[in-house]
Amino acid sequence: MMRPSEINSAPYIARVDKIESDGRNNVKVRVRWYYRPEESAGGRRQFHGAKELFLSDHHDIQSADTIEGKCNVHTFKNYTRLENVGPEDYYCRFEYKPTTGAFMPDRVAVYCKCEMPYNPDDLMIQCDECKDWYHPACVDLTIEQVKQLDYFICYQHGSDEDVKKLRKPPFSNDKVLSKRQRK
């Protein structure tokens, strides 16, 4: 985490690639910057999580004195498996080229009827038939109803009544994907 130029701003996030001393007690770090969604072309989108960063191709040399602390930037997959997400935990699923506004990959898997990429901050539920994931609101369920479900069948595999029924599961397996983890 690097000291921001504005007071009361979130720290900049960078990956330290190299540390060098010039022999006069001046320590410099070569960094590769991460961008937050709101700092990118197109800005923050609905599917961007609160802790999402984009690894850029923007390199810089900074004084080591600007380092405020350490953080962990996880792969998206590893982040979703964390049991506890701390204030120092972030994730990255895209590389970003600030000069062109291009992202790599330029496509990600989409879920639900709304066809949105997964946001680990949002609750989702898995259909027991097709194994697809859905946002509760997109299948006309409240978060409270989802938390009470033992078994869920999406609109493609059952009637509206089937979807909304609480059922005994054929096996014991939690089907709720919630904030940052699959339970």
Angle at 111 (CA atoms; ends 107, 78), nearest 5 degrees: 70
Do the domain assignments include residue 49? yes
Do the domain assignments include residue 131? yes
56 strand-pairing partners: 96
Distance CA 166, CA 148 (A): 7
Distance CA 50, CA 154 (A): 28
Query: Which of the residue ranges 16-30, 84-98, 139-153, 167-181 has the most confident prediction, judged by mean pLDDT?
Result: 84-98
pTM: 0.79
- Cβ pair 22, 15 in contact under 8 A: no
Do the domain assignments include residue 114? yes
- Whether residues 74 and 135 share a domain: the answer is no
Question: What's the confidence (pLDDT) of residue 173?
Answer: 38
pLDDT in tens, 72-129: 999 999 999 999 999 999 999 999 999 999 999 988 889 999 999 999 999 999 999 9
How many domains, in total, are found in the chain?
2
